[in-house]
Structure 1
Amino acid sequence: MKVYEVGEQGKPVLMLLPGTGCYWRSNFGKVIEPLAETFRVACVSYDGFDETEQTQFPTMIEETAKIEEYIKEHYDGKICAAYGCSLGGSFVGLMAARGVIHMDYGILGGSDLDQSAKLPAKLMTALMLPMIYPFLTTGRFRLPFLNRKLEKWRKAGDGYVDAFIGMMRGAGVDLSFITKESLRNQFYSDLITPLPDAIDPAGTEIHILYALKMGEKYRARYHRHFAHPVLHELDMQHEELLAVHPKEWVELIEDICRQK
């Protein structure tokens, strides 16, 4: 695992945690420099997802422990905020629940927080991996009809599909260093790692960028897992604010972190 830092020492630390299968530079490339005007930005590059290492993604709990250890070693165990994009929100939730480190703000980017028993999770992983992995590493699906459907979505949409793909894998970025095993471990482990209910860490505010177009069921899910979540309701799709409107996303993150 690597952590890439941008911004002046002494500024409040904002940790960025990528989504499922996402390359850190693609996931947050549009917002790192603007954020660095206000924060010391620390962007996590997970085990198995960094081209400078020969590692495999282990489990959510093991990776969480590594992130916490980094925060303890480099920031005395305290940061201003952590933002988790999609799967990254699971890390934010786990850190809030475990209480090993302190963050003033835990921010989830519309994370689905899906959980499953081991057998259904294995079946889901076996179904999704053959579709996700080729697209992640080559930009193309193996099945022609999926590529045709993707082109149809691109042409009919407002730029969200292309922006989301760019956030996931970037343009012209060679992600062949990511192994199928790392993606499998990440996808499966996220499904089977339980997130407690009614998480309420002392001195930490939990904020959620709730993309309403994901569906109403997520509102109940957020209120189940967190005792006092602050929901920022957005009439958008999953992580659309970050992908399509990075300037507005930066402004919202800055506003959240000014509340204390």
Structure 2
Amino acid sequence: MTGPKKGSRGRAPKRNTAQGRGGVTRDTVKPARERTTSRGSEVETTGSGKAGSRTGPSRTSGGRTTPGERRSGAAKTSTNPARRGPGERAVGERSAGGRGADSGGERKEGAAGRTFKPAPGRKPPPKLGRKPLPELKRVQLDAPPPDTVFLDRDGERLTFPDSNLKRAAAALLSEKKKAWRYRPFPFPLFTDSGNETAFHFDFYVYDYEDSVIRLLLVVPFESREVWDKVGRFKRQYPMYDYELWTPEKLARLSGPRGRLEF
């Protein structure tokens, strides 16, 4: 088939060719050469006897520059101001006589006349020290005398001369008429490395069917070691209920509104 393609309306396909001013491309322009005559400089296209465009005489005297020099100077001054260095100015600014200096001969930088100084480095944020933990108000318990004898569930006589907390806990359990024993058996705990250790609670509270209903651990204060062991016990023996009795909790349970939850 001959003729243009359907839908093209007889137009030639477009080319991705760089175009100059007026739609001139490299394919349509022939190389030109310049020759100098008595009337000035003339531009003549190659292969034709006719002269092309005439340019005026090139005058270099008197401070005037040729058109080619003006174009090269404009290309130099067209540098993006954002890409200049801190103390760098354009070529036209350097060549200006009074623009870069004030009446006293001092150079000015920037629009406001202030010297450009790079911003100082950002200071790191101040380091905040660890706040000390608030001191707990130590509770003075009214513990029984060191030679006080307590009877457990089996009628065994026990004394705790070295621990005020254990005497206060035993007195509270006896006052509330709870069946308790002091460390009757240990719980084997397995560490992360596979080793087995024995873990004791202090008081084991029983019901009427001789079943353990509550495990009590009496400690002067809570610590990471205590919670580590208690956490392992909770993961390995989730069927048991336990409590940690500190001096603060003993003072609260021993008060007039104190009530055991078992």
TM-score normalised according to structure 1 size: 0.24
TM-score normalised according to structure 2 size: 0.24
Looking at both structures, which has the greater relative contact order when contacts are Cα pairs under 8 Å and sequence separation is at least 6? 1
